Amino acid sequence: MSTDRPVQTTVFNDYHLAAGGKMVPFAGYLMPVQYSAGIMQEHLHCRDNAGLFDVSHMGQIIIAGDGVAAALEKLLPVDLESLAINQQTYAVLTNEQGGVLDDLIITRWAEDQFFLVVNAGCKAEDLEHFRRHLSGFKIDYLAEQGLVALQGLLAKQVMADLSDAASQLSFMHGCHSTIAGVDCYITRSGYTGEDGFEISVAPEDAHKLVEKLLSFDCVQWIGLGARDSLRLEAGLCLYGHELDQQTTPIEAGLSWSISRSRRANGAKAGGFPGADIILQQMADGVAKKRVGFIVDGRAPVREGAEIVDDQGTIVGHITSGGFGPTLQKPVAMGYVLSEQSAVGTKLNALVRGVPRPITVTAMPLVEQRYFRGP
């Protein structure tokens, strides 16, 4: 997992090439940014049908041992001891300054066993971090494990034909199941804002699983480009853009990710890296906030563009931007001074020195459709 390794490929690389995937380097892997239909059509296909995403570049880690929940709570501001078996939660891995080392999904597989999915670009550092702080526990990195996300309006119909147990899951819950005779772990989750599932599978069974999923007419491969536009419309952070080691979860609008028991006056208040800073911000507020934007015109604004007020004073910057195929207009996210963060605030993004009108907009920009139960 050294950073000087040559670019790697996932277990599904041959499928991407056969499907006409345009392969680009991403987080140390060759990944499909799009296929022949293009980003716009792939985005809309996921909204209306079912998209299949290769997310095998993400890091999959199992951490186990007596008392592991309490040990992990010293690194994550969530209440893992109250998490039910096969329930998962979003979490941020914080540093002593309250910044974010990574954001991840953690699932309780057993009383003393947790399954983590971490970001591809952070997984080497995350693994080192866990090994350094959890030396008495068993840590398994599933280096070759496959991971696909089946997302979109018809994902639930596809899953109903494949696994009755998985089709009955509610959002942020999982189960061990079989698909076409293949053992896998399935969660009702994803990062598109749509209802859907993530499926972890052993490398030797990965091709059989994908062939079964692609046998449905409504399922097609979707690349990184549409994955990004979908998560942007859904108002979801991307590590390295909205989140980094200098940005706290409170500034990022992720106060909800701090479990109530870990907040001030909670039963297990604090006790995680940067807790004093983060809890102080929850009490007193922050100087900057993450917000969404609708951009005037048709041309998108991009990451790094400065944001100015009507006096030309710099008040923030864009962290993600692009065209929103669902809305048929450019959308963006970024950070602005708290006094400029109210929905409806008119600002400008500087694009090659030219001001482009943008409006602070409530997130998500497109309604999320997670299945939370009947």
* 358-373 average pLDDT score: 96
pLDDT band, residue 1 (cuts 50/70/90): very low
Architecture of domain 13-55+145-233: 2-Layer Sandwich (3.30)
The pLDDT tens digits for 200-256 are: 999 999 999 999 999 999 999 999 999 999 999 999 999 999 999 999 999 999 999
Sheet of strand 88-94, all strands in order from the earlier edge strand to the far edge: 88-94, 100-110, 113-118, 59-64, 138-141
* 31-58 average pLDDT score: 98
pLDDT band, residue 2 (cuts 50/70/90): very low
- Provide the 8-state DSSP code for 84: P
Per-residue pLDDT at 374 = 74
C-alpha to C-alpha distance for 63 and 372, rounded to whole angstroms: 27
pLDDT band, residue 346 (cuts 50/70/90): very high
pLDDT band, residue 5 (cuts 50/70/90): low
Q: Quick check: 369 pLDDT over 70?
A: yes
Strand partners, 333: 292, 320
Q: Quick check: 3 pLDDT over 90?
A: no
The pLDDT tens digits for 265-312 are: 999 999 999 999 999 999 999 999 999 999 999 999 999 999 999 999
The pLDDT tens digits for 89-140 are: 999 999 999 999 999 999 999 999 999 999 999 999 999 999 999 999 999 9
Q: Do domains 13-55+145-233 and 57-142+248-284 have the same CATH topology?
A: no
* 346-363 average pLDDT score: 97
pLDDT band, residue 373 (cuts 50/70/90): confident
* 17-45 average pLDDT score: 97
Per-residue pLDDT at 50 = 98
Q: Which of 131, 119, 78, 82 is nearest to 275 (CA)?
A: 78
Predicted TM-score (pTM) of this structure: 0.96
- Provide the 8-state DSSP code for 299: S
Please, what is the average pLDDT of the chain?
Answer: 97
Residue whose structure tokens are 């380097």: 25
User: pLDDT over 90 for what percent of the chain?
Assistant: 98
Q: Domain coordinates of the chain in residue numbers?
A: 13-55+145-233, 57-142+248-284, 287-374
Find out if CATH 3.30.470.20 is the number for domain 57-142+248-284. no
Q: Which residues are within 8 A (CB) of 60 and not within 5 positions of it... i.e. 6 or more apart?
A: 115, 116, 117, 141, 142, 145, 147, 200
287-374 adopts what CATH topology?
Elongation Factor Tu (Ef-tu); domain 3 (2.40.30)
**Helix (H, G, I), strand (E, B), or coil: what is residue 279?**
helix
- Provide the 8-state DSSP code for 206: H
The pLDDT tens digits for 228-244 are: 999 999 999 999 999 99
